[in-house]
């Protein structure tokens, strides 16, 4: 039986390679892998920007100078005529991710998002949702979710946490690889360092967006933060620290590396999980002081909440992972249904608290989404 801490160590992409037997890549047809289109036909644009926090040395490599980030934005576009569909990630980052996961080379380059690169942005102001990837993951890991939110009028900013993400490619051609261990220690010192770095990144991006230094108009009163796995833990701690953030959402992340389990939170927080419970979730529930939910997705695995189920089959990952590990990562849901469920509940939560829209699926079980189990609710 895989311990829950071990599954969280596999967050995003982390840790899986250590479990995989070596073997030759398997051939496959070069057919594209289309991510599910957004549920509305509004055009979506995307652009990636290189941001430098000159006021903060890099917490992982202080000698390298100021903290540098790549941030990808998805947004409602005014139009996409004549523009190409965006790539899922860069070829060099894709190769690093494929090598780490040991999925077939070329799998990620076959993934086709819906968004168009460089499309003109809707004038706004737009509600903002910040997104953080899992440990050793990357900013593209939840592209289908980001595109759905953008099509419904949100600006989504997904951060590559440098030296944490598997690989980050900068515009000058540099590629910075993760410096994190594949086998994190049992003590929480490294978790606290990583969460602190991530929270610093999130807060810096909010500063840049609300300070008018980026080509987007943001509604400063409608900002939320979410993330997968360790990104979800960072979202919780960012919500605790930063009063500009109105809501937080955690996609299957243990609340490691911060005092959130002992202190709780005072603003709305949604936890979407694959397993029934975890010690950090129980402690958080005891101290939470606002609207809150823990909703479990039956049949989910830890990576169900990302795009990776769409790549796992074409990339022959099941052929290379022990069955127990594969089940823990991907569960039994079909990829399209997994994306549908995650999109529905994330968007309902954002709409309810950033737009004051009714969201009845957050009030109790829905016959439309029978996989969703209400584990805990308050207010």
Angstrom distance (rounded) from CA 37 to CA 105: 25
Residue 17 CA: distances (Å) to CA of 1, 13, 105, 163: 18, 9, 14, 18
pLDDT along the chain (379 residues), means of 10: 42 40 48 97 97 97 96 97 96 95 94 98 96 97 98 98 98 97 74 97 98 96 98 98 98 98 98 97 98 98 97 96 94 98 98 98 98 97
User: pLDDT tens digits for 261-278?
Assistant: 999 999 999 999 999 999
Map out the domains of the chain with their CATH numbers: 4-19+31-378 (3.40.50.1820)
pTM of the model: 0.93
- 44-57 and 33-34 beta bridge pairing: unpaired
User: pLDDT tens digits for 39-93?
Assistant: 999 999 999 999 999 999 999 999 999 999 999 999 999 999 999 999 999 999 9
Instruction: Decide: 30 and 105 in contact? Cβ < 8 Å.
Output: no
User: pLDDT tens digits for 81-109?
Assistant: 999 999 999 999 999 999 988 899 999 99
Residue 24 CA: distances (Å) to CA of 72, 99, 104, 315: 33, 12, 9, 12
């Amino acid at each position: 039986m895989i311990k829950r801490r071990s599954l969280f160590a596999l967050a995003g992409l982390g840790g899986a390679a250590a479990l995989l037997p070596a073997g030759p890549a398997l051939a496959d047809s070069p057919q594209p892998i289309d991510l599910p289109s957004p549920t509305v036909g509004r055009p979506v644009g995307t652009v990636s920007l290189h941001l430098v926090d000159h006021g903060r040395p890099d917490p992982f490599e202080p000698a390298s100078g100021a903290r540098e980030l790549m941030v990808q934005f998805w947004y409602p576009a005014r139009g996409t005529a004549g523009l190409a569909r965006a790539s899922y990630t860069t070829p060099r980052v894709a190769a690093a991710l494929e090598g780490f996961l040991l999925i077939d080379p070329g799998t990620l380059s076959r993934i086709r998002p819906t968004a168009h690169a460089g499309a003109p942005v809707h004038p706004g102001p737009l509600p903002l949702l910040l997104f953080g990837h899992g440990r050793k993951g990357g900013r593209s890991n939840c592209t289908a979710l980001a595109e759905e939110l953008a099509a419904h009028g949100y600006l989504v900013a997904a951060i590559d946490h440098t030296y944490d993400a598997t690989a980050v490619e900068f515009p000058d051609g540099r590629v910075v690889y993760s410096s994190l261990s594949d086998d994190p220690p049992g003590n929480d010192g490294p978790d606290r360092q990583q969460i602190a770095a991530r929270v610093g990144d999130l807060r810096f991006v909010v500063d840049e967006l609300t300070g008018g230094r980026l080509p987007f108009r943001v509604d400063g009163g409608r900002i939320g933060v979410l993330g997968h796995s360790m990104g979800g833990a960072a979202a919780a701690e960012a919500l605790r620290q930063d009063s500009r953030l109105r809501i937080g959402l955690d996609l299957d992340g243990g609340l490691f590396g911060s005092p959130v389990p002992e202190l709780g939170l005072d603003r709305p927080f949604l936890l979407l999980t694959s397993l029934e419970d975890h010690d950090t979730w129980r402690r958080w529930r005891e101290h939470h002081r606002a609207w809150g939910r823990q909703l479990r997705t039956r049949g989910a695995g830890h990576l169900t909440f990302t795009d990776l189920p769409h790549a796992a089959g074409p990339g022959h990952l099941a052929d290379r992972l022990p069955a127990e590990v594969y089940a823990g990562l991907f569960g039994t849901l079909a990829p399209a249904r997994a994306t549908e469920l995650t999109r529905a509940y994330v968007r309902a939560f954002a709409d309810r608290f950033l737009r004051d829209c009714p969201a009845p699926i957050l009030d109790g079980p829905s016959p439309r989404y029978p996989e969703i189990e209400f584990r805990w609710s308050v207010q």
